[in-house]
Structure 1
Amino acid sequence: MKLIDMSLNEFSDEVDSSSPAPGGGSVAALASNIGVGLCKMMAHLSFGKKKYENLDEAIRIEFVNIFNQLSDIRQELVNLVDKDTEAFNEVMKALKMPKNSEEEIKNRNSAIQDATLFSIEVPYKTAELSLEALKLVDYIATYGNQNAITDIGVGTLMIYTGLEGAILNVKVNLSSIKDDNTKNHYTKCCGEILELGNKIKDKVIEDIHSKIS
């Protein structure tokens, strides 16, 4: 059964088990997915409301455009929940390959590198999508239904949690990559994503605290 087809209790119990997967990578993707859902909820609660309908047409058009972008991101993130566990399983599969001859060792090492790279690419995609979402939420928070302002605040925090959680998974797998160019590329990009994501998150949350104080 796919993780995304489990009930909430089933997924929670699967995480709370001796099985190493689903682990932090899948949970990070789910955290961002749920966070985006909360941000979209604010938009859902805005459509048709008088205050929203009285906004300039250009603002409403952009609002809908951002809503649709968040919908696409949310769908991609939910797919990454299972993809991350799949990536982990590929690494485990490669580690179990025979190593009784030089050729087998060579094939095993190659498979481990390929699987490890896959296990980096998946959480990195989660981090990229999370950053993309964070760049969009401030617009929804500004023009959306202010009765849901704390919901988008929680959503923002969830997205950032998914972002940083994904970065942790990228970095831990980078230690197994032999190619220095690959290591340097992901290290640099992860640092940039983390810095910008944290900056955006802090601004959104600070603005929300100001509104509700």
Structure 2
Amino acid sequence: MNGSWNSSIRLFLDEAASASPTPGGGSVAALAAALGASMGSMVSTLTTGKRHEAVREQMAATAEEMSEAMRQCETLMNRDIESFNNYMSALALPKASSAERDARSRAIGQAAVRAAEVPLSLMKLIHRLLIVLDESVHEVNRNVISDWGIAALMLDAAAQSAWLTVEINVASINDVEAAGRFQEQGSQLSDEIAQLKQTVMRNVRARL
């Protein structure tokens, strides 16, 4: 990349900055998570040589897990855009009659469930990745330990962004029990992710 923005990065930023509703916050969260995973993969890949022979297989597995997470983030980004478009389609349904309003309300509620599922799935993925970062923070190459911390910071930012996306969609879910489940799971994940990030960062700074 020669250290500069390439056309793909610039295009995404231009689209995110435009008046177009997609890509929006959910997509940005997925991208932030992918960037965090990319740092995790890089550091794991650089934890090599005789000095790190004891954790060679562990680092190889971690690098692969992070790479797979990057692919999952791409899938979740596409699902986020699709779910948002479905939600907008539901909002556009006719509402002249009582029957139309009822059908529209049901469609909005169902679309909101799908729109909340995507960022919640992203939070679950991030939770797993932060556990991996926490487990290996003492083993990775100290020369790139700051990048391990950046991985944690990016993942945390992505998780908190995803949580906001869950919350705004929960408000449109008609099923009270389903809305409560989303709220409970998201809140718990958000808290646990924040705690994991703090632990990772404390251990990263201890190795700087």
TM-score strictly above 0.5? yes
Q: What's the counterpart of residue 144 of structure 2? A: 148
For 2:137, what is the secondary structure of its paired residue? helix
The offset of 1:64, in angstroms, is 3.1
Identity %: 31
Deviations along 1:31-76, whole A, 9 cap, x unmatched?
01110110110011123x22112x2xxx443333333332322211
2: CA distance, partners of 1:176 / 1:101: 21
After TM superposition, the structure 1 = structure 2 runs for residues 125-204 of structure 1, keeping only pairs within 5 Å, are 125-204=121-200
Q: 2:114 aligns with which of 105, 118, 129?
A: 118
Q: Distance in 2 between matches of 1:192 and 1:68?
A: 27
What is the aligned partner in structure 2 of residue 29 from structure 1? 30
Q: Which amino acid aligns with 1:196?
A: E
CA contact under 8 A between 2:45 and 2:59: conserved in structure 1?
no
Aligned to 1:40: 41
Structure 1 residues not aligned, in runs of 5+:
1-5
Q: In 1, Cα distance between the equivalents of 2:164 and 2:153?
A: 16
CA distance in 2, matches of 1:155, 1:128: 16
Q: How many residues align?
A: 202
**8 Å Cα contact 2:40/2:133 also seen in 1:** yes
Unmatched runs of 5 consecutive residues or more in structure 2: 1-6
Q: Residues 88-107 of structure 1 correspond to what in structure 2 (within 5 A)? A: 88-107=84-103
Q: Distance in 1 between matches of 2:77 and 2:175?
A: 27
Which residue is equivalent to 1:84?
80
Where does residue 16 of structure 1 map in the other structure? Answer: 17
For the residues of structure 1 that align with 2:74 and 2:136, how far apart are their CA atoms?
21
Across the aligned residues of Structure 1 and Structure 2, the Cα RMSD in angstroms comes to 1.5
SS at match of 1:143: coil
1:137 Cα deviation after fit: 1.0
- The AA in structure 1 aligned to 2:201 is I
Match of 1:68 in 2: 64
State the shift of 1:20 in Å: 2.2
Which is worse superposed, 76-85 or 150-159? 76-85
Aligned to 1:50: 50
Deviations 1:126-165 (A, max 9, x none): 1111111111012333212211111111111000111111
Contact 1:127–1:167 (CA under 8 A) maintained in structure 2: yes
**1:97 deviation in Å?**
1.0
Q: Which residue does 2:4 correspond to in 1?
A: none
CA contact (8 A) 1:116 1:177 kept: yes
Q: Contact conserved, 1:43 with 1:140, CA < 8 A, in 2? A: no
Amino acid at match of 1:72: E
